[in-house]
A and B are shown apart, each in its own frame.
Chain A
Amino acid sequence: MSPIANKESKEQKNRAGQKIVSPDYLLFEAPREKHFMTGSEAVKEAVKRATVDASVSYPITPQSEAAHLIGELWAEGYVGVYFRGENEFGVMSEVAGCSIAGARTITTTSGPGTLRAMENFPMWSGTRAAMQLVLMARGINAPLTIQPDNLEVSFLLDTGCMIWYAENVQELFDMILAGFVVAEQPDVHVPVITAVDGFFVSHTREAIYLPPDDIALPPYDPYKAPMPAIDAEVPPGRFLRDPFVMKSNYISYATHASWQFEVRAAIERSRPYAKHYLKGLTEEFGDKDAEIVFVACGTAASQAKEAVRVLEAEEGIKAKVVKLKTIRPFPYEELLEATKNAKYIFVPEFNVVGWLEREVRRALYKKSDAEIIGTPRVAGGMTMPKEAIVKEVLEIIPARR
């Protein structure tokens, strides 16, 4: 047998007949072609290449198309199981069942549905279920908002899930694939919430570079999970994963305490993997020694980059953007290093509470002399034009000097 034939005979394929390739090949080495699509369509393209076993959806109007498009993938044979939940709480419970039974699982949500399902997120992490939630943030409000706003992310910060934040359609595609790889590491193995700004990313067409769709991630191996998968036939899986809520009166407080620390420790263990697959937990844009720094995530980072260009071109002011790709784990060291020359740190955000400003203040407390300024902050679906960011800088900084 020739070496080539031998190589081909070793090729592994998934249920859809796609060739299994390494995560590094899929993310960094495979040739890519340019396409033009929405964030929701990018979710579909990522799931198509992710050897996904299960997905549950509850798409209510006005939803993103993402869940619907994953349904199409099921019809095409790329996703093993797909069904509709009774409501958002049902969906987030049902995906937990899929995940702890050993399936690579993904779902999507946004806004109020996130809060309706809220009890499930710490349950996911507490049962070490390595599933993925694509959160197309659209805010929480009465009257109901269906506009871009990322308030719900603040509610998710301490659920024990990893939280990554994509800036654009391309990053969303890559993060979904990397998300499975990092979340499923045996020493990490907590859920990953991949957030993007709804509408700005979910509904907007952008250029995106995609690898071929006949290659895909290796399948999930539940027997490497830090808890036994539910499997009534094969020990040690017969032990199931007893939810502590059912036996909380039988266990020590020690276990509850240690268990919670272990879940948070798992997020910390994701750092080296996330650094590799995301090419760093942060990204910098602009003058590296600038005294004016914008710390942002998602599309606020895009707008801040435009503001940096305007400040340089029209005002001769040097500035830079530090984009946070991960919120959990929070990139403390990277942020400290990137802001070491900063005198003014602006935190532009798409929400009313300024949760990222709080995170930045906490990270830099007593470690940086820079003034942290939580502006501009827009909410409820307002846009954040670059001119608004520039105006804030031009008004605030002369007043401080």
Chain B
Amino acid sequence: MAKLGPAQYSPYPVAVYEGVLNPPPGKALLFNDIVDEETAMREAAKAMLTRENATIFPGPQVLYAWNEEAKKKAKLIKEMAEVLNAKIIPMYDYRPKYPKIDPDIEINPNHPNLTIWHNKIKACIFIGVHCHYANVALKIIRSETDCFTIAMCSMAGHEDAMITVRDQHSEDLEKFIEIAKEVKKELGLA
């Protein structure tokens, strides 16, 4: 994520057009800087713990028990939400919905801004959302809202998020939860 706000005449900024690519394996992206994963995780935890209405958006890859890793991750996400004092609003379906979504209980990649506006969400984590839909949503969120976006991706990451960590499997989520507990203690919120 190179900078906030629209790029050129497009309402939807694209970080790669600003020269920002996904981090290499083992590293993370903090705005437009490649940093150690732990640094990014600490900043992500801080953003979630200090911004209003922090919310986790879990996607189909962790919402449905289609493999053992998904089940394990789902449990860890519940734990993560407790540590971060965050709400959970699922992105359970990628199809556009007619006439509109219910922003209290769901987020949709085709108009993610509606859920963020409605709930006044100032920080969020995308996790378990298929990469294309995460990218489409992150571009819209970046332009339409002032929400701090964090993407925890099991693949190569999302450069349109303000923080992205890549190759995140259940052991990495466990590590993030431990870091979040430390940050929470440091902030005097524990």
A residues contacting B by CB (< 8 A) are 128, 185-187, 189, 224-228, 234-236, 239, 242, 247, 250-252, 254-255, 257-259, 261-262, 264-265, 268-269, 271-272
Tell whether, in the assembled complex, residue A258 and residue B140 are in contact, meaning their CB atoms are under 8 Å apart: yes
Tell whether, in the assembled complex, residue B11 and residue A234 are in contact, meaning their CB atoms are under 8 Å apart: no
8 Å CB contact of B111 from A186, A252, A272:
A252
Tell whether, in the assembled complex, residue B139 and residue A262 are in contact, meaning their CB atoms are under 8 Å apart: yes
Question: Within 8 Å CB of A259, what residues of B?
Answer: 136
Complex: A163 Cα to B95 Cα, angstroms: 30
Tell whether, in the assembled complex, residue A226 and residue B64 are in contact, meaning their CB atoms are under 8 Å apart: no
Question: Within 8 Å CB of B136, what residues of A?
Answer: 255, 258-259, 262
8 Å CB contact of A185 from B94, B97, B132, B156:
B156
Question: Within 8 Å CB of B97, what residues of A?
Answer: 250
Tell whether, in the assembled complex, residue A235 and residue B66 are in contact, meaning their CB atoms are under 8 Å apart: yes
Nearest CB in chain A to that of B138: its residue: A258
Q: Smallest distance from the beta carbon of B108 to chain A beta carbons, Å?
A: 9
Question: Within 8 Å CB of A262, what residues of B?
Answer: 14, 132, 135-136, 139
Question: Within 8 Å CB of A264, what residues of B?
Answer: 14
Known: A236-B130, A262-B14. 19 other contacts (CB 8 A): A186-B155, A187-B155, A224-B155, A226-B130, A226-B135, A227-B94, A227-B130, A236-B61, A239-B95, A247-B98, A251-B111, A262-B135, A265-B15, A265-B17, A265-B135, A268-B17, A269-B16, A269-B22, A272-B21
8 Å CB contact of A227 from B10, B132, B156:
B132
B residues contacting A by CB (< 8 A) are 10-12, 14-17, 21-22, 59-61, 63-64, 66, 93-98, 109-111, 113, 130-133, 135-137, 139-140, 144, 155-157, 160
Tell whether, in the assembled complex, residue B139 and residue A261 are in contact, meaning their CB atoms are under 8 Å apart: yes
Question: Within 8 Å CB of A227, what residues of B?
Answer: 94, 130, 132-133
Question: Within 8 Å CB of B17, what residues of A?
Answer: 265, 268
8 Å CB contact of B22 from A187, A251, A252, A254:
A187
Question: Within 8 Å CB of B94, what residues of A?
Answer: 227-228, 239, 242
Instruction: Pick 6 A–B contacts, CB within 8 A, sort by A.
Output: A226-B133, A239-B95, A250-B98, A251-B111, A254-B12, A255-B110
Complex: A239 Cα to B61 Cα, angstroms: 12
Complex: A268 Cα to B18 Cα, angstroms: 11
Instruction: Given A250-B97, A255-B140, answer yes or no on A265-B110 (Cβ-Cβ < 8 Å).
Output: no
Q: Smallest distance from the beta carbon of A187 to chain B beta carbons, Å?
A: 4
Tell whether, in the assembled complex, residue B12 and residue A269 are in contact, meaning their CB atoms are under 8 Å apart: no
Nearest CB in chain B to that of A259: its residue: B136
Complex: A187 Cα to B160 Cα, angstroms: 12
Question: Within 8 Å CB of A189, what residues of B?
Answer: 131-132
Q: Smallest distance from the beta carbon of A351 to chain B beta carbons, Å?
A: 28
Question: Within 8 Å CB of A128, what residues of B?
Answer: 132
Instruction: Given A242-B94, A255-B96, A269-B21, answer yes or no on A261-B133 (Cβ-Cβ < 8 Å).
Output: no
Q: Smallest distance from the beta carbon of A216 to chain B beta carbons, Å?
A: 23
Complex: A236 Cα to B136 Cα, angstroms: 18
Tell whether, in the assembled complex, residue B110 and residue A251 are in contact, meaning their CB atoms are under 8 Å apart: yes
Nearest CB in chain B to that of A265: its residue: B16
Tell whether, in the assembled complex, residue A257 and residue B11 are in contact, meaning their CB atoms are under 8 Å apart: yes
Instruction: Given A187-B155, A239-B94, A250-B98, answer yes or no on A261-B60 (Cβ-Cβ < 8 Å).
Output: no
Q: Smallest distance from the beta carbon of B67 to chain A beta carbons, Å?
A: 9
Q: Smallest distance from the beta carbon of B137 to chain A beta carbons, Å?
A: 8
